[in-house]
Structure 1
Amino acid sequence: MIRNLKLQHLRYFVAVYEERSITAASQRVHATQSGVSMQLRDFEGFLGLRLFDRTSTGVFPTKAGEQIYQRAHRVLRDIDEFTVDVATHADQLYGTVRAGIMPTFAKSILAPTLIKFMEKNPFVDVNIIEGYSETLTGKVARGDLDFAVVPGGELPVGIRSQHVDTDIEILVHKRRQSGPSTDPVQLAVSPPLNLILPGPGNARRAKIDRYLSNICSSKHSILELDSMMATFDLLDKGDYASILPGCLCLPSIEDPRMVLSPLLEPLLQVDYLLIESSSKATPPVVSAFANALCDEIRKWCSFGRDTYLNT
């Protein structure tokens, strides 16, 4: 009977649908595989419908499962929004924000955002995790983070996104001769370079690879490194170059030892996306911090475009 349904049935069903795996879904909802399987069977029994086809490679929704997912997704979000409405305090924000940021923002954008936000909202706890897009997207999908800001790319089922701003990719290397640090360099005709690039789990990598493959005449050597601190250390101490987002590079623009050159002809850019779980409502405290962070990102992106492109 429908009256015997529990919210747990809906949450487990949505987790299995989005993960396409009972094992992954059980990890996401912090339950055992047998418990998730039992709740799923109960749910199908209550409805009198088969919601998934089980195979050796995973579980796949039936047509009935596709339709029920749309309903269950809306129900869970409505319940989340109801909970948020009840918990909202009119005078002062309170609660906890769990946000994920790229290393791009840790150096230049995070500190001013936190200082201004915490001065205005002293009763809010903010937990920040730094990571690359693949890691942060997974944490948002599992509910470990309220939101994250990542480079534009393919997103899994269950994630909604909104565009924040567009940044310019910059070729960075140690200065070898005098000259303006923002003079454009045509990477397309550059001699071979020792390039430090992020690994394939970074959403920026595919776009950079296409640029190097389709535009550049030279065969560059690639060192994969998913550490911004180590990248800057190598740029300072070795014969390396890197392609980095403009926001990350702006604090170094006055460094006389470094050359920062926007990639032009054609221009290489990176879009920043705010990602959240599509089945959860956004609490006011989370929305407030996300807005503050995105405002700071937009300010730096605008400053970067003016600085690098002299517009």
Structure 2
Amino acid sequence: MSHIKLQNLRFFVAVYEEGSISAAARKVHATQSGVSVQVRDLEDHLGVVLFDRISTGVSPTTVGDQIYRRAVRILREVGLLEADVTAQSGDLTGEVRVGIMPTFARAILSPVLARFSDDNPHVDVKVTEGYSALLTRMVLMGELDFAIVPDGDIPKGLRCTFLDTDLELLVCHRPVESVSGNVDLSAIPPLRLVLPGPGNARRAKIDQRLRNVPEAVHRILEMDSMMTTLGIVRQGDWSSILPGCLCLPDMDDPEIHLYPIMRPLMTVDYLMIEPATQAQSAAVRLFAERLTAEIRDSCEICRRHFANLDDRM
């Protein structure tokens, strides 16, 4: 019996994740006929049907589901083997392609980039800043090695790792009437709020919280730029709900007032997402370790700053 070809597995995984042979062909930069042949070869080799052909594409069979899970592990192990061999060559080389939320661009990314570049001069780092929908799409298409996004729906083909939990803060230029520490949204007057658009993973949770407070009808301005949002807030009339990590430089600024949102505590979980079948190179792995360590440290700084929250974090 001949051995299974890795190419068979790669094309099978692409078809499984895309749900379409044509979409899989675009993803792996191959022809539709080439992808079909590879999948058919795998089916013939195993003696099973992996997909049911339907009008909208393909649907995996029960056996297809089982083999997908094994194929992902096999392809990742092969990638890890290749990465380990490459790491033995000495100085790190290659490229790191990372996607980050705007939350981290202000206070977290710069020190990580500076130290990493000084320590690894032969590694090129390419950073894409964007919201979760864009970054998730780019990781799926193989355009990014990994990305850091808020918790949300993770599509097939991605592996996610929980990093840490951050506080969501009400950010204002002027003090909120009758509030001295933590904020109960049901007990504050209507606000003019600058919020991210619906494509932002945090927006759904913010909307849910606001719907639970029907007494306060807030005026909403949508803005998909955190730095512009902070600029608008600093002008005085608008407030916003922003992650604590973004607000680290403002924690001792008398011109900005930060209120953790309570009852219940409002938080955001950060995830690292990466392709399920790909192993990180030594350079990518090192950069990811340093970036995630900085994110965890920053979340801890935020929690300590608001230590009067009680023990619910």
The DSSP-based 3-state class of the residue aligned with 2:306 is: helix
Match of 2:228 in 1: 230
132-141 or 292-301, which deviates more: 132-141
8 Å contact kept, 1:2–1:47: no
Give the partner amino acid of 1:155. Answer: I
Q: Report the number of matched residues.
A: 309
By how many angstroms is 1:21 displaced? Answer: 2.2
Runs ≥4 in structure 1, deviation > 4 angstroms? 176-180
Contact 1:73–1:279, Cα closer than 8 Å, also in 2: yes
- Give the corresponding residue for 2:288: 290
Tell me the amino acid that sits aligned with residue 225 of structure 1.
M
**Does the 8 A contact of 2:174 with 2:236 survive in 1?**
no
Residue type of the partner of 2:209?
Y
TM-score, scaled to structure 2: 0.89
2:282 maps to amino acid = P
1:244 counterpart (230, 234, 242): 242
Gaps of 5+ in 1: none
Residue 189 of structure 1 pairs with residue 196 of structure 2: no
Change (3 A) 1:17 1:247: same
Question: What are the residue-to-residue correspondences of 1:110-259 with 2, within 5 Å?
Answer: 110-175=109-174, 183-215=181-213, 217-237=215-235, 239-259=237-257
Unaligned stretches of 5+ residues in structure 2: none
Rate the CA distance shift 1:225–1:27 in 2: closer, same or farther, 3 A. farther
Q: Distance in 1 between matches of 2:73 and 2:161?
A: 19
Distance 1:177-1:151 versus aligned 2 partners, 3 A rule:
closer
217-226 vs 295-304, which deviates more?
Answer: 217-226
Superposed, 1:3-152 pairs within 5 Å as 3=3, 5-89=4-88, 91-152=90-151
Amino acid at match of 2:112: T
Cα distance between partner residues in 1 of 2:222 and 2:94: 39
Deviation at 1:246, TM superposition (A): 0.5
Q: 1: distance between equivalents of 2:217 and 2:237?
A: 16
Could you tell me the TM-score, scaled by structure 1's length? 0.90
Give the superposition deviation at 1:238.
6.3
TM-aligned CA deviation for residue 179 of structure 1: 11
Q: Distance in 2 between matches of 1:245 and 1:177?
A: 18
For 1:24 and 1:195, locate their aligned partners in 2 and report how far apart those are by CA, in whole Å: 40
- 1:112 and 1:243 map into 2 onto residues whose CA distance is 25
Deviations 1:14-38 (CA, angstroms, capped at 9, x unpaired): 0111121223322321223343234
User: Percent identity, aligned pairs only?
Assistant: 53
Query: How far did 1:218 drift?
Result: 0.9
1:301 maps to 2:303? no
The CA deviation string for residues 115-135 of structure 1, in whole angstroms up to 9 with x for no partner, is 111222222111111111121
CA contact (8 A) 2:176 2:188 kept: no
Which digits, 9 at most, give the CA deviation of each residue in 1:73-100, with x for residues without a partner? Answer: 2221222122112211364222211111
State the distance in 2 between where 1:35 and 1:215 align: 55
Contact 1:26–1:33 (Cα < 8 Å) also in 2: yes
Measure the CA separation in 1 of the matches of 2:51 and 2:89. Answer: 43
